Chain A
Amino acid sequence: MTVSTINADTVTGPDLAQLWKTRRDRERFQWSSLALMTPAFGLLAVLFLVPMGYAVYLGLTNLTLVGPDSVKWGFTGMANLIRLHQDTTFWTSLWVTAGFIGGSIVGVVVAGYWLASLLMRARPWMRVVVGGIVVVSWMMPAVTAGMTWYASTTQGGALGTLTGLHGTNFLDNWPLIVVTMANVWSMTGFSMLVMGAALRNVPSEAIEAAIVENASAWQRFRMIVLPLLRPTMIAVVLLTALLSLANFGLIYIMTQGGPGNATNILPLYSYQQAFSFNNLAYGALIGNVMVVIATVFGIFYVRVASPKS
């Protein structure tokens, strides 16, 4: 083995960096940074990471809300997973969730884009009135939105009056469609604002050039607008999915998951198992399924929204 010696006359910058390991031309770690970060990251650790880990364990136990198993409970291995696999209500709930999220994504993206592009060409007063109505419906808290949609679509409600079908209970007859529409109604404003901002960034020269080239409206949309709007649209799709997955308040007010399990999306079913049927552990396991779904969407969201990409 030879020990390399460094000749002070021939040493270069990179050699020095190698030699000293730490670079002096960059800011170094300061201990006060730790003090600044601790409160926020401590909270996130205690009330986000710890519960997430705890829920993994909890999902595999026999903990109940009341009764003997609420005091003396323990690990039951695969029992809950087997139960989940055989639970037809769970699979129904999963499909209902998929329908609710899928319908919401289509509605929010189409209505948001359509409104944003129409409003660009509209007169100012029209922009204020229609844009205002849509934004107000988005700002409305989920419980209020749920309440007014319940009143409007139940028997004797506004929808029945305006369509002439007085006796029809729209909410009872088409529950999943109605709650999905309510969800789209309460999220379109967000998508409209975001898409409007993105549309204003589409260079008008590109559109004018396409018009000179005799491109049809569809070609202009397909070849110019859509590629430029793609990152925005993907972000809207992912946020709609994540927010819909968690929109407990809206459906809980409107139907509480019913009739039957027609609108029983996963957060409602998880709540129902934990607090109505007292199966706290099983409810936590269903919650874990939601975490897995949300994580998948969340990872895509990070890839789209991170500044680097």
Chain B
Amino acid sequence: MSAPVLPPAAPVEREMPPENTSTQRTRWRSAGTHLTLTAFGILFLVPMLWLLLASVDANASWGLEWPHLSLVNFRNVLTGSLFHALWNSVVLSVVSTAIASITGVFAAYALSRRRIPFKTSLLMFILFSSGVPLAIMVIPVYEMFSRYNLLTIVPTAIFLSVTSLPFEVYLMKNFIDAVPGDLEEAARIEGASTFQVLRQVIVPNAMPGIAAASIFGFVNSWGSLVVPLILISPTDQQPAPIEIYTFLTLPKPEYGNIAAYSLVFCVPVFLLYAVSSRLFREGFVLGGGVKG
């Protein structure tokens, strides 16, 4: 078969705009981009305004008003039971993060380096439970804990550690996978035990991943409302989210204090994200930004 002979193609009249309209068009387009972005910025900023303004306003309300500048709200909320609740949040989050990160790094190492029967299924299980919010298990856990008088802060921290454990294992495994096997082999030849290999080779080399996983665990426990609400019964062990909710149930809300306390509650989260923004750029693309 010979290809049909085509007549020479007629020169296509391409619309080639003159140089100046082309730059004009890009300029309009750029203006459109920046206008839309400004609109987005305002839309996302408006809900935050109250928090910022009311926190420094000595006589705040729900309204948006120019504040009577004062730090009295912050002074009020950083004392007494409110401060104690923040401390409880620290204890709850640190304990749960320590449990999840330490048990998690062992499991992540084994899943990364060892030959394990049903490894694919186990990894699927880990991935599945890292996506599914395990906090929905809270009612049966309440029933189990109440039977053994465990409705206190430490058992609650253990349950919270389980809710962040799968994602932590998944994240740490990915980082341990990237640690060169030669390093470990060299340590083995020198006679290092498994524990020594973990402590002196794996952990230092996978530190960014372990840090990112731990920050994820901390933020997850720090923000959780429903788990401590149900699982912690002594009032002096309750963390800050419960206090934030309690503010709303008071007959006369202290608007300024609510804003100041809510803002103070954000600070550790913001700091951790800021410190680790480089780690998170990798970590958060892999999984989800789960929060309580």
- Enumerate chain A interface residues (CB-CB to B < 8 A): 26-30, 32-33, 36-37, 39-41, 43-44, 47-48, 50-52, 54-55, 58, 63, 111, 114-115, 118-119, 121-123, 126, 129-130, 133-134, 136-145, 147-152, 154-159, 161-162, 182, 185, 187-190, 193-194, 197, 214, 238-239, 242-243, 245-246, 248-249, 252-253, 267, 270-271, 274-275, 280, 283-284, 287, 290-291, 294-295, 297-299, 301-302, 305-306
Instruction: Enumerate B59-107 residues with CB–CB distance to A below 8 Å.
Output: 61-64, 99, 102-104, 106-107
How distant is the Cα of A65 from the Cα of B63 in the complex, in angstroms?
40
CB distance from B8 to the nearest CB of A (A): 21
CB distance from B59 to the nearest CB of A (A): 14
Q: Tell yes or no: B183 within 8 A of A by CB.
A: no
CB distance from A2 to the nearest CB of B (A): 34
In the complex, besides A151-B62, A151-B258, A152-B46, 13 extra interface pairs with C-beta distance below 8 angstroms are A141-B265, A142-B291, A143-B262, A147-B244, A147-B258, A156-B62, A157-B62, A158-B64, A194-B285, A197-B281, A245-B136, A246-B133, A291-B137
Contacts of A47 in B (CB 8 A): 137, 141, 158-159, 162
Contacts of A253 in B (CB 8 A): 225, 244-245, 248
Closest CB pairs A-B (n = 4): A246-B133, A40-B107, A141-B223, A249-B225
Chain B 267-285, CB-CB to A under 8 Å as 1, else 0, gives 0011001000000010011
- Complex contact A141–B131 (CB within 8 A): no
Contacts of B61 in A (CB 8 A): 156
Contacts of B165 in A (CB 8 A): 40, 43-44
- Complex contact B128–A301 (CB within 8 A): yes
Cβ-neighbour of A144 out of B36, B139, B142, B262 (below 8 A): B262
Q: Which residue of B is nearest A241, CB measured?
A: B131
Summed over the interface, the residue pairs from A and B with CB atoms below 8 Å come to a total of 287
Contacts of B54 in A (CB 8 A): 151
Contacts of A242 in B (CB 8 A): 131-133, 288
Contacts of A148 in B (CB 8 A): 47-48, 50-51, 259, 262
Q: Tell yes or no: B186 within 8 A of A by CB.
A: no
- Complex contact A193–B284 (CB within 8 A): yes
Known interface pairs A118-B37, A142-B223. Does A249 touch B241 (Cβ–Cβ under 8 Å)?
yes
Q: Which residue of B is nearest A157, CB measured?
A: B62
- Complex contact A130–B41 (CB within 8 A): yes
Give the size category of B's interface with A. 35 or more
Q: Tell yes or no: B33 within 8 A of A by CB.
A: yes
- Complex contact B136–A267 (CB within 8 A): yes
A-B contact pairs, 8 of them (CB 8 A): A129-B41, A137-B48, A140-B269, A141-B265, A152-B50, A197-B285, A294-B136, A297-B131
Contacts of A41 in B (CB 8 A): 107, 122
Q: Tell yes or no: B135 within 8 A of A by CB.
A: yes
- Complex contact A298–B36 (CB within 8 A): no
Contacts of B136 in A (CB 8 A): 245-246, 267, 287, 290-291, 294
- Complex contact B106–A39 (CB within 8 A): yes
- Complex contact A118–B33 (CB within 8 A): yes
- Complex contact B289–A238 (CB within 8 A): no
- Complex contact A40–B137 (CB within 8 A): no
- Complex contact B129–A130 (CB within 8 A): no
Known interface pairs A51-B140, A245-B133. Does A33 touch B110 (Cβ–Cβ under 8 Å)?
yes
- Complex contact A137–B44 (CB within 8 A): yes
Contacts of B50 in A (CB 8 A): 148, 151-152, 157-158
CB distance from A262 to the nearest CB of B (A): 18
Contacts of B133 in A (CB 8 A): 242-243, 245-246, 294
How distant is the Cα of A15 from the Cα of B44 in the complex, in angstroms?
67
Q: Tell yes or no: B252 within 8 A of A by CB.
A: no
Contacts of A122 in B (CB 8 A): 33-34, 37
- Complex contact B129–A44 (CB within 8 A): yes
- Complex contact B269–A139 (CB within 8 A): yes
How distant is the Cα of A46 from the Cα of B233 in the complex, in angstroms?
21
- Complex contact A249–B226 (CB within 8 A): yes
Contacts of A63 in B (CB 8 A): 143
How distant is the Cα of A37 from the Cα of B292 in the complex, in angstroms?
26
Known interface pairs A143-B244, A143-B245. Does A130 touch B38 (Cβ–Cβ under 8 Å)?
yes
- Complex contact A144–B265 (CB within 8 A): yes
Cβ-neighbour of B143 out of A52, A58, A298 (below 8 A): A58
Binds A, one of B17-25, B112-120, B206-214: B112-120
